[in-house]
Amino acid sequence: MRLTCLPPATWFSPWERFRYQVQKMDRFVAQSNSRVRRATRAAELEENHGQGVISVFHGIEGAHALGTDVRRVREAAALGVLFIGPVHLSDNAYGGSSSGTNSGLTPLGRALILEMNRAGVLVDLAHASPRTFDDALEATVLPPIVSHTGAACRP
């Protein structure tokens, strides 16, 4: 998607871009004639599947979309976000990425995971560096997920 296709408020704000994408998905669901529904619990996934309905749910690939305000986790959860990955394609204020350094979670990354646990948002470890991965496993009390992954050889 070209930047010019997005509303101006999203051009320089990953948070506003996230909010816009949630609104866009919600419009798509509303226009689907009940063929697509948002799911926020496992029971809804099962119910939708049993009715032949496609389920969608929100996640955030890279917590840089939150800026550095971990309190935004609560707003994201209220918008239906079920999981957040602390990092994506590069290191950020929360930790090291598999494409960046092998640094682990930062103090802000630990605060993020604490807030995610409080809000019931799962930690997605896709794109995490090995140290970030291990640090996140130690920090979370909720079961982590890896929404997608590749394989790497470790010596």
Residue-wise pLDDT tens digits, 45-67: 999 999 999 999 999 999 999 99
- pLDDT higher than threshold 80 for residue 3: no
The residue-averaged pLDDT of 79-92 equals 94
C-beta separation of 127 from 99 below 8 A: yes
Distance, CA of 140 to CA of 71 (rounded, Å) = 17
| pLDDT single digits (tens) 114-152 | 999 999 999 999 999 999 999 999 999 999 999 998 666
Task: Give helix then strand counts, H and E, for the chain.
Answer: 5, 5
- Which pTM does this prediction carry? 0.88
- pLDDT higher than threshold 50 for residue 105: yes
Give the pLDDT confidence score for residue 153 in this predicted structure.
61
Distance, CA of 97 to CA of 93 (rounded, Å) = 11
| pLDDT single digits (tens) 14-56 | 999 999 999 999 999 999 999 999 998 889 999 999 999 999 9
Give the pLDDT confidence score for residue 149 in this predicted structure.
82
- pLDDT higher than threshold 50 for residue 1: no
Structure tokens at 42: 């496992």
Distance, CA of 90 to CA of 151 (rounded, Å) = 18
